Chain A
Amino acid sequence: MFDSIFKRALLVAIVTDAVDFLFHFFFTNPMESLTYFVIKFLLAFTVATGLFSWRSYSQRSKKILIIFITGLIFSTLMSAYYRAWELGEARVPFGSRAPDIIGITRYSIMFSLVWWLGHATFFSIGAWLAWRIIKQKG
């Protein structure tokens, strides 16, 4: 059982990072740093482990909704990390870490929404794949 949870979480982390990398590569400027992807990987792995080891997860219907809500939690945690980094460690203006997204002005609610929903979606894609591909034993 733990073996499949581990595999699923690993797949989620890999997919989340890979899709995010592609997004950054094609739609944002500048590219994110290695540290960013490492932190994202670890966070995705942790949140996914939580999701798949949650007892009632396997009993619930509406799995896709649960997956997406977990994605939103993941995205929120990632944002919390960056806001903390900006205000605490780097002491830079609020929001200045986020790269520009091509075609969306950074001074709109759309900009925030795209980041938030985007990161949640990348995680959800990974979690959905993990759920479909890796069968949970026990």
Chain B
Amino acid sequence: MFKFFTILFVGLVLLGNGCAKQAKVSEPTAPSTAINQPMAPVEKTETNFLPKPKPVIPADTPKAPTATVYTVKVSNFSFSPAKLTINKGDKVIWQHDDAVAHTIVSVGNFSSPVLSRGDKFDFVFNQAGEFNYYCSIHPSMTGKIIVK
């Protein structure tokens, strides 16, 4: 009987996906929003009216100003939308809003740190193709970005 309770105790300790513990752990990971920093310069370039050599640019490339920013929500153990079609040069922002930590990984292309609620990760797709990605903690969580 003693053996039984010992096992019961050890099991509970190990299995304890305790709420308190997890909450504590996810808070310090908040600084990982550092990855948001690339976002700031991008917004700046859109709102920055200072550089005015504009007359030169339209001559050769009219595609630069058409870059769009898309948001993929990471919640309830899934990516939404799971499949997204974008154009070359567009940016995708993954916005984490789940109780559990997730990552965004596309082997050979991009890989986010562990994200917790409120964190963001972004990537600019400069090459056409199909980019499959998944969460390395929950490999069944998958998504796909199709770049035309």
Contact = CB atoms under 8 A, between A and B. Distances in A.
Contact of A79 (B15, B21, B78, B141): B15
B21 A115 contact: no
Interface string A101-120: 00000111101110110000
B39 interface: no
Main secondary structure of the interface of B (DSSP, over half): loop
Contacts of A58: none
Contacts, number: 96
Given A72-B8, A76-B10, A111-B17, A30 B77 contact: yes
Interface in B1-36: 3-4, 7-8, 10-12, 14-19, 21-22, 25-26, 29
Interface string A75-105: 1100110010000001111111111100000
Contacts of B22: 93-96, 107
A108 B12 CA distance: 12
B15 A112 contact: yes
A94 B137 CA distance: 12
Contacts of B78: 29-30
B116 interface: yes
B48 interface: no
A21 B110 CA distance: 30
Nearest to A65: B4
B132 interface: no
Nearest to A120: B11
Nearest to B3: A69
Contact of A92 (B8, B15, B76, B137): B137
25 contacts: A29-B76, A33-B139, A72-B7, A75-B15, A76-B7, A76-B15, A79-B15, A90-B114, A92-B101, A93-B22, A93-B100, A93-B116, A94-B25, A97-B138, A98-B17, A99-B77, A100-B76, A107-B18, A107-B22, A109-B16, A111-B17, A112-B12, A112-B15, A112-B16, A116-B12
